[in-house]
């Protein structure tokens, strides 16, 4: 009855249903073809990527937790391409990797660079794989301040600061740093540095004197790091995945599952480059200490 009264409407409904079904099937097949390992049944290695300057930890923490609780994921590879970053996020990721490595094998894979905070988080893994030419090490802390006092005077600006405590504006860019303030900040950086050293000692199970002799901020190649005990093996990402899989008890072919990336954002594309993050970071007037390697 309906088809006789409204044949065109019926045709449109059927056509729409067919097109919608086709789109769903095509989307599924495309996803299956581009991320085949996600649909593999059986035991897999989860891969988490840490790229650029480490400014937050929430994403990586969530990914680690998800893979840790997923019974089909037998081991995890944390792929690091980072010169380091802020102290807090680096410490949070290190702690979560340590928590995860206690129940499921975690292997850190170093790409082009995994220095300072990048090495900090790698030290929490059960093992570290680096390329021979990977830039790593840089076990140290940096605090940078820029003084604009002379520039402000030249353009006729006189800053006025009202503070509640003697050291509340420590590190201010509008006046010279006092000797006692420099000592406070130096002591602060030394304490953060000791935390870094202790993390490497705990994560890598290395002798304190050995770590302290290497923790002067210098960088090493992956090849040097292996000789020094900072890295376990030389190899690429596939080598790290293979090692992690075997450590996790996978006998046959090893499939991988990559942690889901955030949705594409033009704003993210324009603002998320490491160079821009670094530039903005040092323009920020807030007091901060960083585990970061900064080449000249």
- Which residues, in sequence order, are bridge partners of residue 255? 44
Q: Tokens for 154, please give them.
A: 């030249």
Separation between Cα atoms, residue 116 and residue 215, nearest integer Å: 10
* Residue among 116, 138, 225, 255 flagged as catalytic: 116
- Give 148's contacts (C-beta < 8 A, 6+ positions apart): 173, 174
In sequence order, the 6+-apart residues with CB closer than 8 A to the CB of 48 are 60, 63, 64, 67, 76, 77, 78, 79, 259
Structure tokens at 227: 């000789």
Contact criterion met (CB below 8 Å) for 173 and 145: yes
How is 83-103 classified by DSSP, letter by letter? Answer: -EEEHHHHHHHHHHHHHHHTT
Active-site residue flag, 168:
yes
Q: Residue 152: which residues within 8 A CB-CB, separation 6 or more?
A: 158, 159, 174
Distance between CA atoms of residues 170 and 162, nearest Å: 13
Angle at which helix 87-101 crosses helix 58-69, to 10 degrees, equals: 10
Report the 10 Å Cβ neighbour count for 198. 12
Q: Confirm whether 273 is a catalytic residue.
A: no
Catalytic residue among 163, 168, 183, 268: 168
Q: Which residues are catalytic, by number? A: 116, 168
């Amino acid at each position: 009855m309906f088809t006789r009264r409204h044949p065109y409407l019926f045709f449109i409904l059927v056509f729409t249903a067919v097109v919608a079904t086709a789109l769903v099937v095509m989307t599924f097949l495309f996803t299956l073809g581009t991320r085949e390992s996600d649909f593999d049944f059986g035991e897999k290695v989860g891969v988490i990527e840490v790229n650029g300057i480490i400014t937050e930890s929430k994403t990586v923490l969530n990914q680690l937790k998800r893979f840790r609780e997923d019974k089909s994921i037998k081991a995890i590879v944390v792929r690091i391409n980072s010169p380091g970053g802020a102290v807090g996020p680096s410490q949070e990721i290190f702690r979560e990797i340590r928590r995860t490595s206690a129940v499921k094998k975690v292997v850190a894979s170093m790409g082009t660079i995994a220095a300072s905070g990048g090495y900090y988080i790698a030290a929490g893994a059960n093992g570290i794989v680096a390329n021979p030419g990977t830039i790593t090490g840089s076990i140290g802390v940096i605090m940078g301040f820029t003084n604009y006092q002379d520039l402000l005077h030249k353009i006729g600006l006189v800053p006025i600061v009202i503070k509640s405590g003697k050291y509340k504006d420590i590190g201010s860019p509008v006046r010279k740093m006092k000797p006692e303030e420099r000592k406070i900040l130096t002591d602060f950086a030394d304490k953060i540095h000791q935390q870094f050293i202790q993390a490497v000692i705990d994560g890598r199970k290395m002798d304190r004197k050995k770590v302290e002799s290497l923790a002067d901020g210098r960088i090493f190649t992956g090849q040097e790091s292996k000789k020094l005990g900072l890295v376990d093996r030389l190899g690429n990402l596939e080598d790290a995945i293979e090692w992690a899989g075997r450590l996790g008890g996978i006998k046959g072919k090893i499939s991988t599952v990559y942690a889901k990336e955030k949705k594409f954002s033009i704003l993210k594309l324009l603002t998320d480059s490491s160079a821009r993050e670094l530039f903005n970071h040092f323009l920020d007037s807030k007091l901060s200490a960083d585990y970061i390697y900064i080449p000249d």
